Chain A
Amino acid sequence: MNKSKADKILKTGTSRQKIKLFMEDVALFNTFFIETREPALTPEQRKEIEDLFLFSTEKPYYEKLRRWNKGMLFYKPIVALHLAILYQVSIRLESKAVASTKERYGLQGINTLLDLYPDEKTRDKALSIAYKSSMAKSVERYQENGKTYLRATKELYKDEIEGWLKQAQDQTWLVKSYLSLLKYMTDRKRLPVKAYRDLIKHQETELISLYEKCYHSAIIIDRNRGIKKARAIPPYEKIEAEVTQEDLDELEGILAQ
C-alpha cells in the first residue's frame, strides 16, 4: 500500500477503512521478514487507529478481522514448513539428476574406449575391470551390434526416485490444501487483505514450480537410466485440494481457542 493512500484513509476514511488499513499493516509485518518489512503505518498512526476502534461501533468488525488473522497466523507457518520440505525433495531429485547425467557421460567414455581395443581378449579384460569397479552396483552389461557395453541399470535410483516423487505429491497436495484454506480465509467476506493474498499467490507459484521441477528431474534421471519414454507429469490443476467441511471444523476449533 502506498503512503499517500494510507494517509488519505487516515484523514478522510471511514472507521472500517481505517481498521482494514490497520490489518493491512499487521499483514505486512507478518508476511515480510524483520528488516525487509515495509509497514503501511507509523507507530503513531497505528496507535491512532487502535484508540479509534476501542470505542468505535465498528469494534466487532475489527474482532472479526482479528479472528481470521489468527487463523491465517496458525496456518501460514505450516504452509512455509511443508514448502520447505518440498524444496528439500526437489533439491534431492535435482542433485541426483546432475549425478546421473555425469554417470552417463562417464559410461559413454568407457564404452568408447572399449571399442578401441585391438583384440577381444583385452577388450573383455577392460570390460571386466570397468564393471568390477566401484560403479559395479549401478551398471549392467548390454549387447549392441554383437559387442558388450556398459550402461546404468534401469533399476538405478528407481526406489529412491519413486519414493521422492511420492513425497513430492504428498507435500504438494498438503500445501495446495492449506493454500485453499488460506484463500478461503482471505476471501472478500473474511479477511480481504492484499499482503496475505500476495503471499498466497507467491507461495502457490513456488509450489507449482517445485512440483514440476521434481518431475523434470525424474525425467532426466529416467533418460540417463535408458528409459526412453518420458513419464507424464500429473497436472497440478488436477490435484484435488478443495476445502472440506472437516477442514472448516478444524479451523473453527482453532479460532475458538
Chain B
Amino acid sequence: MIRKNIEQALRQGSIKQKILLYMNDLAIFNTTYDPEKHLLTDKERTVIYRGLKTPQDIKYYNELRTWVKTYNFYNHETRVLIERVKAHKQALLQEVLTIEQNRSYRDIINELLDLYPEKDSREKALALALDKSELFKLYQEKGFSPYVVEDEDHDKSKRAEKRIRTTIDKLEEEAKGLRVILALLNQITEERLPLKPYKKDREEREEQAREELQQVKLMVDYINEELDCSLKITPYDEIELPEAYSVNSVNKESALPYE
C-alpha cells in the first residue's frame, strides 16, 4: 500500500476503511514479525483506535479482532505440524540413503566374490557373506556364478519396511492435521478476515506443505521400486477433509494476544 493512499484513507476514509487499515497493519506484523514493516505510525494507530465511537464500529473492530486471534491460534499449529512433517521426511530420506548403502555393499561383495580363484573358496565366501550380512540372498542365473542380491523377505528387510510404513503413517497423520488447519485458515481468510497479508501467509504455508509432501512422494516411489513394496502417501491436495470441521468451533478465549 502506497503511503499517499494510506494518508488519504486516514483523512477521508470511512471508519470501516480505517479499521481495515489498522487490521492490515497488524496483519503485516503478525505474518512477518518485522516491526520495520508497519504501515502506520504509533500515532496513526492511536488515532484510529480512539476514533471507534459507535457500537457498530466497536462491534466490527471486535469481530475482526476475534478472527485475528483465531488465525494466529491455528497458524501456530501449522508451523508445529510442518516441522513434524519435515522430521518424518528426514527419516524417510535416511531410509533412501540406507537402501543406496545396501546396494553399494551388495556390489562390493559381488566384486570381491569374483576375485576368489577357486570355486570352493568362492562358495565358502558366498555362504559367509549371506550369513554375516543378513540382508542378502543368493542369486544365480543359468550358466553364471552365484551372487548376492537384496533379500526383501528377510526379517531385517521386513523390519525396514515396517519402520518405513510406521514413518509414513505418522507423516500422513500430521499431514492430515495440517490440511484441516490450513482449510480452516482458508475459510477464515476467505470469509471472515479478508486481509491480503494473512491470505498470502496461508498460501505460502500451504505451498510449503504441498512441496514437502511432493518430496516425500518421490522418496516413497523410490522405496517402493527398490524394496518391491506398495507404500502410499496421499498428495496434499488429495487429503480428504472431514465433514465436521468449522471455524465456528473456536472458543472466544482460544486465541493469541497479538493484536
Partner-B contacts on A (CB < 8 A):
23, 25-26, 29-30, 33-35, 66, 69-70, 73-74, 77, 80-81, 83-85, 87-88, 91-92, 94-96, 98-99, 102-103, 105-106, 108-110, 112-114, 116-118, 122, 125-126, 129-130, 133-135, 254-255, 257
Contact = CB atoms under 8 A, between A and B. Distances in A.
B31 to A, nearest CB: 15
Contacts of B125: 113, 116
A126 B81 CA distance: 49
A70 B77 contact: no
Contact of A35 (B95, B107, B242): B242
B254 A105 contact: no
B242 to A, nearest CB: 7
A34 B245 contact: yes
B115 A109 contact: no
A30 B254 contact: yes
Nearest to B136: A109
B115 to A, nearest CB: 5
A113 B101 CA distance: 18
B229 interface: no
B140 interface: no
B26 to A, nearest CB: 11
B116 to A, nearest CB: 7
Interface string B170-186: 00000001001000000
Interface size, B (range)? 35 or more
Nearest to A92: B90
A83 B104 CA distance: 36
B80 A112 contact: no
Given A33-B177, A92-B94, A96-B94, 17 more contacts: A34-B180, A77-B76, A81-B76, A84-B81, A87-B83, A87-B87, A102-B98, A102-B135, A105-B135, A112-B132, A113-B128, A113-B129, A116-B128, A122-B115, A126-B115, A133-B107, A135-B108
A29 B132 CA distance: 54
Contact of B104 (A66, A94, A105, A135): A135
13 contacts: A34-B245, A66-B253, A73-B255, A77-B80, A81-B76, A81-B79, A99-B101, A109-B132, A116-B116, A117-B115, A122-B115, A125-B115, A129-B112
B90 A88 contact: yes
Contacts of B124: 116
Contacts of A77: 76-77, 79-80, 256
Contacts of B195: none
A187 B134 CA distance: 55
Contacts of B84: 84, 87-88
B133 interface: yes
A70 B253 CA distance: 8
Interface in B215-259: 242, 244-245, 249, 251, 253-259
Determine which residue in B105, B115, B125, B259 has the highest number of CB atoms from chain A within 10 A of its CB, and name it.
B105
Contacts of B112: 110, 113-114, 126, 129-130
B111 interface: yes
Determine which residue in A23, A30, A91 has the highest number of CB atoms from chain B within 10 A of its CB, and name it.
A91
Contact of B257 (A74, A84, A112, A134): A74
Contact of A73 (B95, B97, B257): B257
A19 B79 CA distance: 32
A81 B83 CA distance: 7
A106 B244 contact: no
B91 interface: yes
B18 interface: no
A99 B94 contact: yes
A98 B87 CA distance: 16
A229 B76 CA distance: 42
Contacts of B145: none
Given A109-B129, A129-B112, A116 B121 contact: yes
B134 A105 contact: yes
Contacts of A35: 242, 244-245
B257 A257 contact: yes
B104 A134 contact: yes
A26 to B, nearest CB: 4
Contact of B132 (A26, A95, A108, A114): A108
